[in-house]
Amino acid sequence: MSSNGEKQNGNPCLVVSPATPQSTGLETITQRRGEASQQPSQLKRTVIAVAVDDDAQVRRVTRRIAGRFVQDVREAGNSSEAETVIAEIKKTFSDAGILVITDVNMSYEGEGFDLYSKLKDDLNVRVILVSGGYPEKKMGEVGLTPEDIVDKPFDVNTLTTLICDKIRQLQE
């Protein structure tokens, strides 16, 4: 904990304030990549994460990592469950940003790509894909570049950086 009560998470780019019933738990973002820190900026809206994977253990790990940066992390075991969770979030928190961290291959090969295709045009949603291997042809079909995908087993620092980037995008 820092002297002002903020929890520093070992993340190169985020400081998370302790949650109160009135806060989102993520009150300030500041650069911490070795260069001089910028002034913290207030978040413009709540960000809720959704961890999507058919492996419960991977969902728990993803939930823990994402939970370092957002107050609310939901889970889904496949893309259909994820769509239901996302619809519930939109209904309850109409102005929330939604960060989806999804496996590519779940019930069927490419399921995460299909979920991404359904969500990619929603300005309130950002998607991070996680995969043990992905076909370049399928990536091109849905408009992805290798920077949009994290390899399994994933490096926590790489996933952390992507989460920070996506949260920033949701704040713009």
Mean pLDDT of 59-87: 95
Q: What is the pLDDT of residue 26?
A: 37
Residue 28 CB partners (closer than 8 Å, separation 6+)? 6, 15, 17, 40, 41, 42, 43
Q: Check pLDDT > 80 for residue 163.
A: yes
What are the pLDDT digits (tens) for 13-67?
A: 544 433 433 433 333 333 333 333 332 345 578 999 999 999 999 999 999 999 9
The pLDDT assigned to 20 comes to: 38
Domain boundaries, given as residue ranges, for the chain: 46-171
Is 46-171 a domain of CATH 3.40.50.980?
A: no
57, amino acid identity: Q
- Condensed to tens digits (0 to 9), the pLDDT of residues 3-16 reads 333 333 433 354 44
Beta strands in the chain (DSSP E): 7-8, 14-16, 28-29, 41-42, 47-52, 72-76, 97-103, 125-131, 149-151
Q: Per-residue confidence at 146, pLDDT binned at 50, 70, 90?
A: low
Structure tokens at 168: 């920033």
Dihedral of CA 72/77/78/81: which sign?
A: negative
pTM greater than the 0.85 cutoff:
no
Sign of CA dihedral 59, 64, 69, 73: positive
How wide is the angle at C-alpha 130 spanned by C-alphas 62 and 94, nearest 5°?
65
| Predicted local distance difference test score (pLDDT) of residue 143 | 72
pLDDT of residue 136: 64
As a whole number of angstroms, the distance between CA 7 and CA 74 comes to: 21
Share of the chain above pLDDT 90, in %: 45
Label the pairing between strands 149-151 and 72-76.
Answer: unpaired
Q: Residue 18 gets which letter from DSSP?
A: P
pLDDT-above-70 percentage for the chain: 68
